[in-house]
Amino acid sequence: MTEEAPLLHAGEQILLNGMIYTARDQAHKRITAMMAEEKPFPFPLQGASIYYAGPTPTPPNLPIGACGPTTSSRMDPYAPAFLDAGLKCMIGKGKRSEDVCRAICRNKAVYLCAIGGAGALAAQSVRSLEVIAFPDLGCESIKRLTVENFPLIVAIDCHGGNLFH
């Protein structure tokens, strides 16, 4: 997403392909503590995309259960530091704080919105899932997903465009 983020503009609809990581509240708290202790991250943050989701249990013969977005503002206390450390894309639902918006612009990143209440639709775009950190957190563990044609809307771009203003 490193090269793509500056090319995107608020209001555009995209189909995302590639690797993303799920992380929610508890995972963000743990990663923040790791940052403070200068410990290595559970995944490379540089250029990464984080999806604020906690997928439901995986049904037989599928890579993932329903995986709709959670409210992004709950990650706002952590997002500026993550962006300053190299994160390029956040995926969730709802508005973001002014601090997060400034960090998006400062770091040439992007915030994408997934359709709330459509976790089964989002799951159709997931080709693979691997738990990579914090398995004790259950649905909030960090997962590496490979997605194909994941439908998203550019909500906040690095040029100051913001669908919530």
- For residue 150 the two structure tokens come to 């994941």
pLDDT tens, position by position, 137-147: 999 999 999 99
Q: What's the chain's average pLDDT?
A: 95
- How far is residue 104 from each of residues 30, 41, 50, 107, 126, measured CA to CA in Å? 22, 20, 14, 5, 26
CATH of 5-156, one of 2.40.30.110, 3.40.718.10, 3.20.20.140, 3.20.130.10: 3.20.130.10
Report the C-alpha gap between 143 and 145 in whole angstroms: 6
Distance CA 79, CA 35 (A): 13
Q: What is the pLDDT of residue 1?
A: 75
pLDDT of residue 115: 87
pLDDT of residue 144: 97
pLDDT per residue as tens digits for the range 53-73: 999 988 998 999 999 999 999
* pLDDT-based confidence at residue 36 (cuts at 50, 70, 90): very high
Q: Which of 145, 125, 132 is nearest to 21 (CA)?
A: 145
Complete DSSP assignment for 124-141: TTEEEEEEEE-GGGGGGS
Q: Where are the domains of the chain?
A: 5-156
Q: Averaged over 95-106, what is the pLDDT?
A: 98
What's the rounded Cα separation, in Å, for the pair 83 and 70? 19
